[in-house]
Structure 1
Amino acid sequence: MIGIRLATALFAAIWGGVASAAPSEPVIPGVEVLLSDRIDLVQGMRVGLLTNPAAVDRKLVSTLDRLRGDSRVKLTQLWAPEHGLAAATPNGTSNIKGIEARTRLPIEGLFGDRTAPSAEALSRVDVLLFDLQDIGSRTYTYVSSLGKVMQACAAHKVKVVVLDRPNPLGGTLFEGPVRLPKYKSLLGWGPFPVTHGMTFGEIAKFYNEELQIKAQLEVVAMKGWRRSMVWDDTGLVWVPTSPGIPKPLNATMYVATGMVCGSGPNCNEGGGNAMPFELVGAPWLDGERLAAALTHRAKDVSGLQHVRFRPMTWLPWHGQYDGKVTHGVQIHLLDLHDFRPLRLALIILSVLHDEFPSQIKVSSAHRFGMIWGNDDVLRDLRAHKPWTHIEAAWQKDLDGFAQIRARYLMYPP
């Protein structure tokens, strides 16, 4: 079994080696550190903010409200990522532009026709604060927006300050193929694996140096966070980052099932259900057979020993198979510290292609490649190659990424 074996010096142990204890000190988000220790980064300047409601302090006060209520901060411009300033709109939306009703500040959405701040909006600011909560996946568009924002700010000589937050998947595990250049998009902008085990602050440093963006970059680090922490270890309260990620579990499962049904196959991952990303199914599937096959294939596999599959039938109320009775499995995680989400995604896809070859269909090979980052995964699945073969094929690139990644890590194990 080929896994990720990296030196401790690279802070890259696989989840499950040592269970995280309760934090010995509180995890303090970057916004609180900014206002207590680094106000010099914004005081006396015109400040822009890219954020949504998931960016909160430990008392659940949003970054937007913290800054608006601080006389030392002069907010002059807002930006919103995909899903909008309220993180409430469906996938693929946030093309707003105008005056935000509550604050009366100008606002731009950074998704759709416009994916980077305009010159007009940047002319209103001296510094842009970036404060979003990530979920740790290359395909979640906020990490791509970070790179696009940095490029625009560098071109217009606007300082970028990233207010750091935890990676809910933790800071040690990274899996998957490194994205090929031809598949660069907002669903995979950064040249790294599907999961990267980095915070936005670390990724900003990675972007700035590895992509030669040369932005005027500052990162306000968290206090108290360690790489071994998954979200439940932080003591922080989860606020939905988008409509499909209402809980930390959904953020964890986003990679496991989103990389399956979200990459183009004719299946539903729980969209239009109260358990988004916890399910895999389709009207044509046999849930009992799928659960048995997944249980057999995942048996004794590292990172999946605490995963259980339960047959389930549901009726999606929107999205794939809207209004159609859907059969499949609910995935139960018993230990978040010993979980390999992308390995699970690969095994699910392998089972679907091996057990249901005449029924599984991929709508677009290009979309599949764009989500996974290369062409090899789909080709090998269709050839019924073992999942271990597919995983081993990206190990060399992962090892190279590990060496680069180590230069930008900011937090202890």
Structure 2
Amino acid sequence: MFKNIFYVVLGLLLTTAGLQAQYHPVVKPGIDVLLERHLDLIQGKRVGLISNPTGITASHESDISALLQEPGVELKALFGPEHGIRGDSPAGAKVGSYKDPETGISVYSLYGKTRKPTSKMLDSLDVLLFDIQDVGVRPYTYIYTMALAMKAAAEKGIPFIVLDRPNPMGGLLVEGPVLDDAFQSFIGLYPIPYVHGMTIGELAALFNKAFGIGAKLTVIKMEGWKRDMIFEDTGLLWVPTSPHVPHRDTPYFLAATGGFGELGTISVGVGTPTPFELVGAPWVSAQKLADALNDAHLPGVYFRPLNFRPYYAYFTEENCGGVQIHILNNRRFLPIRTQITILVTLHKLYPKAGIFKTERLKNFGRAMGTDKIQKEIQEGWTVNQILDEEKPALLKFLSLRKQFLLY
């Protein structure tokens, strides 16, 4: 019996050691660097923190908790983006302001009646911190919450500090249409590509200088991060950035299907256990679509035929034929080429389905940052022709972003 107990204990110790090794970070996020090297920026000051559950240290401690333990740092106010400071609100839901039950600190919503901190909210603050994990795509609200907060800080004359975090898809992948100013919205305020390949700190610097915010900006850089790193290389723990981005690979799927998910004529797996990984509709033949997409020989991806039934969102409780997207190689995968290939293929296979005949077409335009793509698809353009049309704007952006790269 004692021998059995010994082996059980040994197994538990080895499992624990394995887990510790698995999550041993090689990258130190900005919050850790702030606490270790730059506390002088916030000591003796009244601090406001814009964060959510993704704001954790390399040792998995909440940034709220970490800051509260620092002597001389007065955490005075919390600001929550879409989904709230605790991440418990669904996509698009308006969030109110309240007292945080765990800390007693005032929590102001930046996704409710106001999306920009008011002057009154900032009256009692000396500095604003921003610490949120981004996903690396243009149509995602957190980077615009940051931009509007930077504007508010600039108007109030208080410093704004961004605690940098990795781009989960790395810093080399830049792809997709650059936002046309006519399609500005809260999922696209500035002319950047769909997949921008920048960290949130680099975006802050870009927004501040190139787009004229003019805040007193400091970016606390990560330590150990390199541009060719994707999230799995960092050793950091992935915390879901929103309810439908549960895993560290979900940003790739979001980049590949999130845009046309706005149409409402195609399910992208929202309402299933695999959001953004599925593509289908009741009128789709799973095998036919899978064969056509695999025949396109897209890099780093395989399309498996399947049938599924969403529990909510589009086509609730309806049987859908479609595909599951399997990313075989994250570094070769091109999400925007994949997204446009899927749209071109669906339009060719099912011209009478009217995937663009929807009252939500404007939402698709806002997500893509242009209305050209759906027009080009309807006119019979090839995938290469559509992507070639976007190259001049993309090259212009690549030239602009060089001066704001920190790594």
TM-score by length of 2: 0.92
For 1:204 and 1:229, locate their aligned partners in 2 and report how far apart those are by CA, in whole Å. Answer: 20
2:357 maps to 1:358 = no
> Contact 1:352–1:360 at 8 Å: present in 2 too?
no
Deviation, 1:365, is: 3.0
Structure 2 partner of 1:17: none
Greater helix content: 2
AA matched with 1:100: D
Pick from 384, 390, 396 the counterpart of residue 386 of structure 2: 390
> Contact 1:265–1:360 at 8 Å: present in 2 too?
no
> Contact 1:132–1:142 at 8 Å: present in 2 too?
yes
Pick from 363, 366, 380 the counterpart of residue 367 of structure 1: 363
Structure 2 partner of 1:5: none
> Contact 1:260–1:348 at 8 Å: present in 2 too?
no
Q: Percent identity?
A: 37
* Alpha-carbon spacing, 1:328–1:25, altered in 2? closer, same or farther (3 Å): closer
Structure 2 partner of 1:326: 320
> Contact 2:306–2:322 at 8 Å: present in 1 too?
yes
My pick for the range that moved more, 98-107 or 361-370, is: 361-370
For 1:86 and 1:353, locate their aligned partners in 2 and report how far apart those are by CA, in whole Å. Answer: 40
SS of equivalent residue, structure 2 residue 116 = coil
Whichever of the two has the greater Rg, that structure is 2
Structure 1 partner of 2:376: 380
Q: Which runs of 4+ in 1 moved over 6 A?
A: 22-25
Deviation, 1:205, is: 0.5
For 2:387 and 2:27, locate their aligned partners in 1 and report how far apart those are by CA, in whole Å. Answer: 34
> Contact 1:202–1:408 at 8 Å: present in 2 too?
yes
Q: Deviations over 1:252-295 (max 9, x none)?
A: 21010112222x15011111111111111111111111101111
Structure 1 partner of 2:286: 287
Alignment of 1:248-327 (within 5 A): 248-262=248-262, 264-297=263-296, 299=297, 304-327=298-321
* Alpha-carbon spacing, 1:255–1:218, altered in 2? closer, same or farther (3 Å): same
Structure 2 partner of 1:18: none
Pick from 395, 398, 401 the counterpart of residue 397 of structure 2: 401
SS of equivalent residue, structure 1 residue 251 = helix
SS of equivalent residue, structure 1 residue 345 = helix
Deviation, 1:25, is: 8.3
Q: Deviations over 1:184-229 (max 9, x none)?
A: 1111112201011000110110011011111010000000000001
SS of equivalent residue, structure 1 residue 389 = helix
SS of equivalent residue, structure 2 residue 274 = coil
For 1:100 and 1:24, locate their aligned partners in 2 and report how far apart those are by CA, in whole Å. Answer: 31
2:153 maps to 1:153 = yes
AA matched with 1:369: G
Alignment of 1:65-214 (within 5 A): 65-214=65-214
SS of equivalent residue, structure 2 residue 353 = coil
> Contact 1:147–1:190 at 8 Å: present in 2 too?
no
Structure 2 partner of 1:14: none
For 1:327 and 1:201, locate their aligned partners in 2 and report how far apart those are by CA, in whole Å. Answer: 41
Structure 2 partner of 1:218: 218
* Alpha-carbon spacing, 1:392–1:136, altered in 2? closer, same or farther (3 Å): same
For 1:190 and 1:271, locate their aligned partners in 2 and report how far apart those are by CA, in whole Å. Answer: 27
For 1:173 and 1:294, locate their aligned partners in 2 and report how far apart those are by CA, in whole Å. Answer: 22
Deviation, 1:176, is: 1.2
> Contact 1:34–1:220 at 8 Å: present in 2 too?
yes
> Contact 1:176–1:194 at 8 Å: present in 2 too?
yes
For 1:360 and 1:108, locate their aligned partners in 2 and report how far apart those are by CA, in whole Å. Answer: 42
> Contact 1:80–1:94 at 8 Å: present in 2 too?
no
